[in-house]
Structure 1
Amino acid sequence: MPKPAPWSPKPAVAKLPLAVRKDIRDNFESKKEDFETRIKELTGTDSFTININAAEVWAYAEDGNTSAGTCFSGYVEGFISALKNFMTKYDDNGKSFFNEAVTQSELTLAVNPNGDKGETINSAVKDGVYQILFRHDRLGYNQNWLDDTMLPAIESAPREGFSLSAKNSIENEYEAEIDELQEEINKLCGDKFTLDPNFEEIYKTLSAAGEKVGDNNWQARIGATVLNYFKGLKYQLEYQGFKEDEMLQEGLQEIVETKTFKVRVVPKTKSTTETVVEDGVVYLQCAADRWSYNANDMGEGLLKLL
């Protein structure tokens, strides 16, 4: 059986019918300035442009459909709704990441280059322009379903450091929660200890591991996972009898000269979680393919290492 011909984009419409041009004028161009103002308010930018090539997009419309302006406005409204939710969730970080990705401060609508494999609606950032992508045979469908596509599009833009989802998790699921746990662990240890989340090194290691990471949504949960590891440490300290036992506490302080508990990811472990002491540091460690597993076991066997 011969292979189907590969999909290729349609040529632009040579001249849009008058009824189509009228609908664009009445139902899109008349709203465009308001759309751009709303987007500027959300992004905090001085300018933002909506640039849709009507002749290219409308090549995919059904025969006889003249509601181009209504269609374009529907996509832009869907984008603004998704952008509002994005900024509500990620706040100032969201603004920074969005503007650093969408460097041209421009929005466009285009056919998905993946042809039949493309989603009904999707997003991408290309050359600093935010693209709303529609499947070639689904123009006008699911215009309000952009929420889940915005974060991947923004994070796809090259950037050094943490991804937006990782940064959000660290700030809201770790930094906002760690102080009380830190105090509880200090009491169990009989002195002030440092809890080192080691986020930068962990992020680089897990990023390099790719699909081998045990949690396929690890970036969005990195803060919560490390917090859970330290909660596991607290549980193990209690279970192993460190609470109010001065002998055990002094033994811990003597062996752990740096008074530091540090999370790390290593190439290989003998068990899902491991606790080791090296150079006066207690390392709570796992391999990438066991990331986030068995958090309550972190710190297991610590007493035997003293």
Structure 2
Amino acid sequence: MPKPAPFTPKPAIEKLPLAVRKDIRDNFESEKEDLQKQVNDLLGNECKFNFNANEIWAYNADSNSTNCGGTLKNYATGFIYCLKSFINKYGDEGKDHFNGAVTQCEISVGVNPLGDKAPTINCEVKDGVFWILFNHTSLGYNCDYIGDYMLSAIENAPRDGLSLRAKHSIDEDYDSKIDDLKEELGGMIGVPDVVLDPNWDENFKALKAKSSSNDWEQNLGRTIYSYFEGFKDQLKYQGFKDDEMLQEGLAEVFESKKIVVRVVPKTKKTYNEAIIEDGVIYLQTTPEQWWVNTSQIGEKFIDLL
């Protein structure tokens, strides 16, 4: 069976009809400055809408329609609506990541080069420009759904360090409750100044290098927390609470008072393990076994002492 022909974008309209140009003037250009100000106020950056009406309107399916300006405005207001939700969720980190990805401070609209395989609407960041992409048969549809693709577009732009998904998970699922866990664990093992090191950057790099998807990023904080919680529960089960002999035995090999979560290429146990190296307790797992059986981390830890 022959392969379908690749999608070929339509040529831009050389000259738009007068009624269409008037609609652009009345319904988009007249409001463009205010629309851009709304974006700039949200991002703290000077961004602009750069919509090529001649290219975009080539995909208008209704030959009687002159509503090009209204269509362009819908893309702009849809983008603003979704950007507000994005920043409400991700705050200043969201602004930093957006501005760091969209380096040209420009928002454009264009046809999706995937042709028939393209969703009704999608987004991508290319060469520092935020592109709103429409299916060639669906001009003007689903403008309020830009937000479904905004995060992925920003995250797919090259950037060092933790992703926005990961940072949000840390804020929501780790920072808010780790102090209580640390206090409980420290009291139980007789080390009130115990240090819990999530090892964010190194673990993120190790997982990123081996993972075929980024689903794990949105649970990074919760997952790291679950390793510390699982270890605490294991020590409680093994009788460390209020047992001076066990606490003293631990203190002899736990000079650093530091517990670190670490992703490694291979572990001796199937899912995860706790080991002691140079006075540090490492809670180890592999990318393949990430977030698997975290409640078992530190099983039989007493045998290491």
- TM-score tier by shorter-chain length is over 0.9
Instruction: Tell me what 1:26 maps to.
Output: 26
Contact 2:112/2:134 (CA < 8 Å) preserved in 1? yes
**Aligned partner letter, 1:78:** G
Instruction: Tell me what 1:300 maps to.
Output: 299
* Residue from 246, 249, 257 that aligns with 1:248: 246
Report the secondary structure of 1:257's partner residue: coil
The structural deviation recorded for 1:222 is 0.8
Instruction: Tell me what 2:51 maps to.
Output: 52
1:88-139 deviation digits (Å, cap 9, x = unpaired): 1111111111111111211111111222222211111112111111111111
Higher mean displacement: 280-289 or 180-189: 280-289
Distance 1:7 1:127 in 2: 22
Distance 1:13 1:123 in 2: 24
Distance 1:122 1:115 in 2: 12
Distance 2:126 2:266 in 1: 38
Instruction: Tell me what 1:100 maps to.
Output: 100
**Aligned partner letter, 1:167:** K
Instruction: Tell me what 2:263 maps to.
Output: 265
Instruction: Tell me what 1:12 maps to.
Output: 12
Distance 2:205 2:107 in 1: 32
1:61-105 deviation digits (Å, cap 9, x = unpaired): 103122111111111111101100111111111111111111121
Under a length normalisation based on structure 1, what TM-score does the superposition of the two structures give? 0.95
Instruction: Tell me what 1:235 maps to.
Output: 233
**Aligned partner letter, 2:206:** T
Instruction: Tell me what 1:199 maps to.
Output: 200
The structural deviation recorded for 1:239 is 0.8
**Aligned partner letter, 2:201:** E
Instruction: Tell me what 1:221 maps to.
Output: 219
Distance 1:3 1:266 in 2: 43
The CA RMSD over aligned residues, in Å, is: 1.4
Report the secondary structure of 1:144's partner residue: helix
Distance 2:99 2:131 in 1: 14
Distance 1:102 1:75 in 2: 17
Contact 2:211/2:287 (CA < 8 Å) preserved in 1? no
Report the secondary structure of 1:104's partner residue: coil
Gaps of 5+ in 2: none
Contact 1:40/1:48 (CA < 8 Å) preserved in 2? yes
Report the secondary structure of 2:51's partner residue: coil
Gaps of 5+ in 1: none
1:204-263 deviation digits (Å, cap 9, x = unpaired): 10011022x7xx511111111101111111111111111111111111111222222111
Distance 1:279 1:271 in 2: 23
Report the secondary structure of 1:283's partner residue: strand
The structural deviation recorded for 1:172 is 3.1
Distance 2:180 2:62 in 1: 64
Higher mean displacement: 66-75 or 50-59: 66-75
Report the secondary structure of 2:144's partner residue: coil
Instruction: Tell me what 1:111 maps to.
Output: 111
Report the secondary structure of 1:277's partner residue: strand
Distance 1:125 1:3 in 2: 29
- Percent of residue pairs bearing the same amino acid type: 53
1:42-65 deviation digits (Å, cap 9, x = unpaired): 0012x2211100000111110312
Please list every run of at least 4 consecutive aligned residues from structure 1 whose deviation after the TM superposition is greater than 4 angstroms: none
Report the secondary structure of 2:174's partner residue: helix
Contact 1:97/1:154 (CA < 8 Å) preserved in 2? yes
1:147-198 deviation digits (Å, cap 9, x = unpaired): 1211111112211111111122223322232111111010011012211111
Under a length normalisation based on structure 2, what TM-score does the superposition of the two structures give? 0.95
Distance 2:47 2:196 in 1: 44
The structural deviation recorded for 1:279 is 2.0
Instruction: Tell me what 1:163 maps to.
Output: 163
Distance 2:116 2:298 in 1: 50
Distance 1:4 1:243 in 2: 68
